[in-house]
């Protein structure tokens, strides 16, 4: 194997990853259900679930990601940002929601990069390198 793991180790790691992903999706479902959203889990594809607001009828397409953090770098414990890679993102807005080990939910900024740059500033160290901090402008 190219990663140095046996087939059994790869299967075991894959099952743990799937279990963690399923747990994160469940946490996200319960979080949004408490906020008044109807939840429709996926059957297949890049969208993890569809939400419909009971009062407004607003529809949102969600992709759940485990909130992993950076280790062994200058920007310790800062979230690793993920992106949507599906070609479907050209046609519908798929939002990312992060779930950590305690089940806490963190929604990704959904207004786009241009708006994010107007609203926030990236912290930098004395050498001009990103230090993991984000400041509101």
- Domain CATH number, residue 93: 3.40.1350.10
Average pLDDT over residues 64-73: 70
Q: Is 112 helix (H, G, I), strand (E, B) or coil?
A: coil
pLDDT, position 31? 93
Give residue 79's domain range. 7-110
Q: Which of 62, 98, 94, 93 is nearest to 81 (CA)?
A: 98
Label residue 114 by pLDDT band (50, 70, 90).
confident
Let me know if residue 129 belongs to a domain. no
Please check whether residue 120 lies inside any domain of the structure.
Answer: no
| DSSP secondary structure code for residue 77 in this structure | T
Q: Is residue 124 part of a domain?
A: no
Q: What b/e readout covers 103-136, taking b as 16+ CB neighbours within 10 angstroms?
A: eebeebeeeeeeeeeeeeeeeeeeeeeeebeeee
126 inside domain: no
Query: What does the alpha-carbon distance between residue 105 and residue 99 come to, in Å, rounded to a whole number?
Result: 5
Q: Is residue 2 part of a domain?
A: no
Q: Is residue 55, in this structure, part of any structural domain at all?
A: yes
Give the total number of structural domains in the chain.
1
Residue 18 falls within a domain, yes or no? yes
% of the chain beyond a pLDDT of 90: 22
Q: What is the pTM of this model?
A: 0.66
Q: Is residue 122 part of a domain?
A: no
> CA 111, CA 105: separation in Å to the nearest integer?
18
The burial of 64, by beta-carbon neighbours within 10 Å (0-12 exposed, 13-18 middle, 19 or more buried), is given as: buried
């Amino acid at each position: 194997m190219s990663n140095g793991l046996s087939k059994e180790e790869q299967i075991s790691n894959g099952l743990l990853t799937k279990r963690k992903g399923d747990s994160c999706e469940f946490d996200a479902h319960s979080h949004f259900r408490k906020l008044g959203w109807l939840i429709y889990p996926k059957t297949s594809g890049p969208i993890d679930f569809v939400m419909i607001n009971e009062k407004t009828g607003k529809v949102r397409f969600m992709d759940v990601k485990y909130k992993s953090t950076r280790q062994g770098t200058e920007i310790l414990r800062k979230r690793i940002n993920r992106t949507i890679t599906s070609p479907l993102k050209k046609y519908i807005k798929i939002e990312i929601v992060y779930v950590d080990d305690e089940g806490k939910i963190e929604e990704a900024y959904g207004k786009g990069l241009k708006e994010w740059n107007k609203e926030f500033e990236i912290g930098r160290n004395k050498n001009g390198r990103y230090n993991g901090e984000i400041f509101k402008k």
